Amino acid sequence: MSVTVVYDNSTRRLDVTLIIGSDAYTTAATVDLSSLLPEYVVVGFSATTKNAYASNHTVVLVRFKVK
């Protein structure tokens, strides 16, 4: 499973793609993050399985690119 989050500041477009096996699920929204967030932010990650089973969630790659 992988998730890709892309934000284009020039178009204010936020794209999210979730890939599970060979299935891809995408959603997009227009949002002005600069009006919602301060100049500097901290990025965090969270995950859940919504059940009682123990699980391990690993962030394998984080990449930031300023356009």
The structural domain count of the chain equals: 1
pTM of the model: 0.69
Q: What is the amino acid identity at position 28?
A: A
pLDDT tens, the chain, 67 aa long: 888 889 998 999 999 999 999 999 999 999 999 899 998 989 888 877 777 677 777 888 888 776 5
Phi, psi of 43 (to 5 degrees): -100, 135
Structural domain for 63, as ranges:
1-67
Query: How far apart (Å, rounded) are the C-alpha atoms in residues 30 and 14?
Result: 6
The domain spanning residue 11 has which CATH number? 2.60.40
Q: Are the CB atoms for 3 and 17 separated by under 8 Å?
A: yes
Q: Report d(CA 13, CA 9) in Å as an integer.
A: 7
